[in-house]
Each structure stands twice: as structure tokens, then as C-alpha cells.
Amino acid sequence: MKAVEVRELVKNYGNFRALNGISFEVNEGEIFGLIGPNGAGKTTALRTIATLLQITSGSVTIFDYELPKEAGEVRKIISYLPEEAGAYKNLTGKAYLDFIARFFGDGEKSQDMIRRGLEIANLGERIDDKVDTYSKGMTRRLLVGRALMVNPRLAILDEPTSGLDVVNAQEVRRIINSSVEAGVAVLLSSHNMLEVELLCHRIALINDGEIVASGTAEELKKEYDAGNIEEAFVKAIR
Amino acid sequence: MIGNIIKKEFKELFTIATLIPIIVIAVVFAFVGQSIGNIGETMEEKPVIGIVDRDDGDFSNIAMSVLTEKGEVIYDGSDAEEGLEEVRGGNGVALLVIPENFSRNIDGNQPGEIEIYWIMKGAGMMDSISSGVVEGLIWAVNQGISTKLIQQDSSSDPVLVLNPTTRVETTFFKGKKIEGLSASQLGNVLSSQSIVIPIVIMMLIIMSGSSVISSMGMEKENKTLETLLTMPVRRSHVVIGKMVGSALVGMIMAAIYMIGFSRYMSSFQISDINLADFGLTLGMQDYLLVGVSLFTALLAGLSLCIVLGTFAKDYRSAQTLIFPITALAMISVFITMFKDFDTIPAVLRILVFAIPFSHPMMAMRALVMDNYSLVIGGIAYTAVFTVIMVAVAVRIFNSDRLLTGRVQKRAARGKLLWGFRR
């Protein structure tokens, strides 16, 4: 079963076409990266798959659930981390994890999720402080913990290391990798092409709402005779 | 330099979005003022009255002369029942009956009795103006009699000279006959209710509404909305959860506010009239209806607020979006305070009925007068209003508007109820 199947997806904002018939698939246990410059359509694609935006035309299925008809079922098995996400500032980090966990289960199930969230966020004693007092890196770690603690079948991560320093970014990448080992499929976006090369099993290069190339990092580099993905991307959009 | 900052601030704050609600509300207030009428004009108008003079003595003649000169007499006969019908039919204020022994009593150093049958139309502040003018006529009658008494005999009993008449009053209001109370007294008691209760409701609506709109603004500002919308929970539950949470916060805040406000209002309490003594009391089922009316109005207000909240870009813009709610609540307060629902022009009546917050403001007064149809009709209307607003909110939550400010046409064509299920 495919984790994600996107077919000829078109998304218009009024007269502006943000996605122009993109198609791709994400397999179970795979990290799939959408990479491209700002405004290429990465976030629109992820928001559409995360059930937040309506589909203009084309189709999206998540583990055989079709959008938008089965959006409710999809929300039970996905977890979405927006690029500029925040947490409720008046809650402590732990209370925030508790708030989210209650959407996915009660009792022991919820407590297990919180324990996993605390482990992933790894904020020590600061987890009992209000989110308002957190640095950007701490908030991002809390949010990554929130996104992965619920044991999603598909994690949709928009620029997961956005704004993080090298140490925090590396830690987040480690967490994502360990989640995949546990069976989670990951669809992520980034404009950091070197990071994607390190992290993703397969990559789609997106520009102006269209996928210009896709494959493994090695395949893309070979296809465009490039030393790295960044170089391959530049050659692909020329 | 400072000019540059002023220019930037002005451009940022003086936008079409902030201007339109102010213009709309200014127009509505002007319209309301125009429709309610002018207090000065009403006071200058001669009150429409009926007179039954069964005495035909010196003092009753003085009374008749004053009343005929200063009032517009539409009935001058001997049958009180007939007179009442005439006054009612002629949109009059009162029927004054001077009994047979009026002059003889005064001559015998006893105050003369005047029977006054008030035809009360409404219990708003402005509704009592006409009866106030009739009170003025009676004062003028007393003046005339006092003058005559002093001219006749300067050694007259000063108490009688100062108070030559007494009144026996009966008020007819909305099918009820209330003996022993004048229209002004009844109006004052009912008006005092129509100050406190509407203000309580207005504060409740504004504070709860402000909470729900701010909550939407903060969700956007703190970037938590996208996450919330991907949680496995129905959109309708998100909407209702926000409404109920905000209602609780609003109720706590309004309660704190009202502790202070009720202390403030109690300092103006001058009437010791207990309406229950006149059979004007509310039973358990009436209080239940008031509660239901308040609850549905609160939900209606909050559902409207949540729809408005979807337009908030951040916390700051959310603050400006509360203005239409405040203005609607104030329109309801002012109209119900100054006029009775039955005495306002038809267009205003439609406006008042259409504003959901008006119904609990009017409910208590209506129930005292056994006007159940207005209260139950209001509850039904606010319930339907709430359902429609929640459906609109859920539809917006299902659309792209919350995240992009746009609604995709295809989504907008979707069935309303389908949105509830998602």
C-alpha cells in the first residue's frame, strides 16, 4: 500500500495556479522530500495533503483514504508540522503535549504518547515551563515531539529544521530517521537541498508548481551530471 | 521624522476595514434616533385624554378648564366605560374621572379625589413621556384649585391648599389591569429592569464575543491554527468548543463586572414598589424561559463572533472585529431601554427582532406582561440564527479561507451539512 498517492494535483488560489498537475508517490517507511525554492508550491502541496486546503482538481489518497471525502479518517493517521508552527503560549510544554495527545486517545494510550513526546522534545525540566519562555529551537523540538509522539502512519513535515542551529537541526534529523525506522512514512519539504540529500530516500524537485524531476539523490545527480542535489536542481529548471 | 511615523500609523490604522463598521453603525444609530422620535416634540404635544365630570362644581370646573386648555380632550361625557374605549381607540394617555362629591369634599376641608385610568402603551423610558405630561396637567389642576382656595379664604388648611386632590389610579397595560399604580410608577419600575438586565447581557455578549474573536486571532498569530485543523476532530466540534470555552470565560468576566455594576446601580434605587404586590411576578417557568432566551442569545452572539473571528489576521485585527458585536448589542440596549417593542416603528421592530441579543433584554418585561409569543418566538429565532451561523463557521473552517483568506468556489458549492460531518 502506498502511503501517499498524488495524481495530477492542481491547486488554484483565485487566478493564481500554485500547483500545476503534480504527481508523486510516497512509500511506507520512506522519507520523501519535496525540494524547491520559496514559492515553488511545497507548502501548498503539503497543506493539501494534510487536509487543510481544498483540491482544485486531481486526486490525493493517503493509505487508500481519498481526499477530501475521507479527510476525517486521514487526520487520524497523519501528523502535520507546519513551517512556522507555534504552540499555545500560556501552556507549559508538557500541557501542550497532553492537549494534543487527548485528540488521539485517552488513559494509558495518551500517557504513552506524552512520554514519547517528552523523550523526543528532550527539553529536560524546561518542559514544565510555559511555551512563552522557550527559544525558537526549544519550541521547534517541542513541535517535532508533538508531531511524532502520536505514532502517525504519515508525518508531513514542512521545513522541519527551519530556523534551527546546526546542533538542533542535526537532532531533529536524527529523530526523523528513528521514526522512519519505527515504520512511519515521512513527506517533508525543504529548500535546504543538502539536508534533503542527507535525509531523504527519494526526492522530487518542484519549481513553479510543477515537479521537474524525481528519484533518489544518486539518480538525480547522475541524470543531471551534478555534484550535489543543489546543482542538479539548477540544471533541472534551466 | 515624527511626521513619517504619524503617516505610517495613520495609513496602518485608517483602513477601509476599520472605517466601514463605524460608518454602518453611525448610519444605524442615526436611523434609530430618527425612528424613535424627539423627546422635546413629544413633551410639547398636548396629551390625548378623556374626562368624565360627575361633579360639575366650582373646583371640578377649574379642573375641567385646565384639562381642556392643556390637554387634547377626545371624550367629555359621563360614562367611564365609554370614555375608556374612546381614549383607547384614540391612542390616548388617560381617562380622568371627577366624582360627584369632588367640590363638596374640598369645601369641607377634605381633598377631592380624582380617578385616573392610565392607558399605558410601553414600558420604555420614552414611553412614559406622555404620562409624565398628564402628571403635569394634574399638577396644574392642583395649582388652579390651590389658587381658588387661597382667594376664597386665606385661612384655609395649608395642608389642603398644598394638596387639594388625591388620586385613585388604575393602569391598563397589555391587557392587564393594575390597580394602585400609575403609568409612570409602573414604567419606572419596568424601566429600571430594562437598564440593568440589558447591560448585564451586553457585557456578557461583549466579553464572551471578545474572547472568541481574540482566540481566533491568537490561533493565527501564534501559528497554532494549522495544527489544530489537522487534529482528528470534527470542525463543528472545534467551533462549538471555542464557543463554549469563550462563553465560560465571558460569563466569569461579566459576573465580576456585574458585582461592581450592581453596587453602582443600587445607589440609584429609589422605588420601593414591589411588582409582585400587583400580580406582576414571574414564575419558575418564566425564569426558565429567561434563562433559555439568554443562553440561546449568547450562543447566537458567539456563533456570529466565531464567523467574524475567521476574518482576524492576528490579535490586533481581532480587537477591531469585536466592534460590530458591541454596536449591535448597544443598539439593542438603547432601543429596549427607551422604547417598548410594541411602541417602536415596524422597521425598528424588525431590526430589534433580528438582533439576537435583544430577546433576553426584552424577555423579562414581556413575561411580566404574559407576552409569551415574543419570548418563545425570540428563542426559536435565536436558535435558528445560531444553527445557521455555526453552519457558516463550519463551512469556513472547511474552506481555504482560514489559512489563505480565500474561499475556493468548488468548496463553497459543497453541501452545508456535509461540512458538519467532516
A130-163: pLDDT as tens digits: 999 998 888 988 999 999 898 899 999 998 888 7
Sequence-separated (6 or more) residues with CB below 8 Å from residue B41 = none
pLDDT confidence of residue B419:
42
- Minimum distance, in Å, between the CA of residue B213 and any CA atom of chain A: 16
End-to-end CA distance of chain B: 53
Is residue B421 less than 8 Å (CB to CB) from chain A? yes
CA triplet B370, B197, B270: central angle to 5 degrees?
95
- Minimum distance, in Å, between the CA of residue A59 and any CA atom of chain B: 14
- The three three-digit cell numbers of residue A137, written as one number: 529551537
**A185-190: strand order across its sheet:** A78-81, A154-158, A185-190, A31-35, A202-207, A210-215
**Residue A46 in contact with residue A125, Cβ under 8 Å?**
no
Best of B216, B219, B231 to disrupt the A interface (most A CBs within 10 Å) is B231
**Residue A32 in contact with residue A201, Cβ under 8 Å?**
yes
How does pLDDT run across B379-409, given as a tens digit for each residue? Answer: 999 999 999 999 999 888 888 888 876 544 4
Cβ distance B224 to A75 less than 8 Å, yes or no, reads no
Cβ distance A78 to B229 less than 8 Å, yes or no, reads no
The backbone torsions φ and ψ at residue B125, rounded to the nearest 5 degrees and listed phi first, read -60, -40
Task: Encode B143-172: b = buried (16+ Cβ within 10 Å), e = exposed.
Answer: ebbbebbeeeeeebeeebbeebbeeebbbb
Separation CA A229–CA B73 (nearest Å): 99
pLDDT at B323 over 60: yes
Candidates B34, B37, B67; CA nearest to B52 is: B67
Separation CA A108–CA A146 (nearest Å): 17
B194 — pLDDT class (breaks 50, 70, 90): low
For residue A82, the chain B residues in CB contact (below 8 A) are 223, 226-227
Three-class SS of residue B79?
A: coil
Separation CA A50–CA B189 (nearest Å): 59
Sequence-separated (6 or more) residues with CB below 8 Å from residue B385 = B300, B303, B304, B356
- Minimum distance, in Å, between the CA of residue B314 and any CA atom of chain A: 14
Sequence-separated (6 or more) residues with CB below 8 Å from residue B57 = B102, B103, B104
pLDDT at B414 over 60: no
Three-class SS of residue B97?
A: strand
pLDDT confidence of residue B418:
40
Share of chain B above pLDDT 70, in %: 86
- Minimum distance, in Å, between the CA of residue B399 and any CA atom of chain A: 7
Count the alpha carbons within 13 Å of B53 in the hemisphere toward its beta carbon. Answer: 18
Share of chain B above pLDDT 90, in %: 10
**Mind giving me the DSSP string for chain A?**
-EEEEEEEEEEEETTEEEEEEEEEEEETT-EEEEE-STTSSHHHHHHHHTTSS--SEEEEEETTEEETTTHHHHHHHEEEE-TT----TTSBHHHHHHHHHHHH--HHHHHHHHHHHHHHH--GGGGGSBGGG--HHHHHHHHHHHHHHT--SEEEEESTTTT--HHHHHHHHHHHHHHHHTT-EEEEEES-HHHHHHH-SEEEEEETTEEEEEE-HHHHHHHTT-SSHHHHHHHHH-
**Mind giving me the DSSP string for B253-293?**
HHHHHHHHHHHHHHTT------GGGGT----HHHHHHHHHH
More confident of the two residues A146 and B122: A146
**Rg (chain B; Cα; Å):** 28
* CATH number, span A2-237: 3.40.50.300
**Residue B339 in contact with residue B127, Cβ under 8 Å?**
yes
pLDDT confidence of residue B135:
85
How does pLDDT run across B134-192, given as a tens digit for each residue? Answer: 888 889 989 999 988 888 876 777 888 888 899 898 988 877 888 888 888 887 777 77
**Residue B202 in contact with residue B332, Cβ under 8 Å?**
yes
Chain A residues whose C-beta is within 8 A of a chain B C-beta are 12-14, 47, 50-54, 56, 68, 71-72, 75-76, 78-82, 84-89, 100, 103-104, 143, 146
Could you tell me which chain A residue has the CA closest to the CA of B405?
A13
How does pLDDT run across B80-99, given as a tens digit for each residue? Answer: 889 889 888 888 888 999 98
Candidates B324, B332, B319, B201; CA nearest to B254 is: B201
Three-class SS of residue B192?
A: helix
pTM, to two decimals: 0.75
- The three three-digit cell numbers of residue B194, written as one number: 430594562
pLDDT at B106 over 80: yes
The dihedral through the CA atoms of A6, A10, A13, A17 has a sign that is: positive
How does pLDDT run across B216-238, given as a tens digit for each residue? Answer: 888 888 889 889 999 998 888 88
The backbone torsions φ and ψ at residue A202, rounded to the nearest 5 degrees and listed phi first, read -135, 155
- Average pLDDT value over all residues in chain B: 81
Count the alpha carbons within 13 Å of A181 in the hemisphere toward its beta carbon. Answer: 7
The dihedral through the CA atoms of B69, B71, B75, B81 has a sign that is: negative
Domains parsed from chain B with CATH numbers: 46-180 (3.40.1710.10), 192-421 (no CATH)
Ranked by mean pLDDT, the top range of A89-103, A191-205, A221-235, B402-416 is A89-103
pLDDT confidence of residue A3:
92
Cβ distance A47 to B422 less than 8 Å, yes or no, reads no
B413 — pLDDT class (breaks 50, 70, 90): very low
ipTM of the complex: 0.91
pLDDT confidence of residue B262:
65
The backbone torsions φ and ψ at residue A85, rounded to the nearest 5 degrees and listed phi first, read -65, 155
> What single-letter amino acid sits at A1?
M
**For chain B, how many residues are written?**
422
Separation CA B259–CA B240 (nearest Å): 28
Cβ distance A103 to B233 less than 8 Å, yes or no, reads yes
Sequence-separated (6 or more) residues with CB below 8 Å from residue A98 = A110, A114
Task: Give residues 220 to 249 of B whose Cβ lies within 8 Å of A.
Answer: 222-224, 226-227, 229-234
Residues facing B21 on adjacent strands: none
Could you check whether the bond before residue A68 is cis, i.e. omega within 30 degrees of 0?
Answer: yes
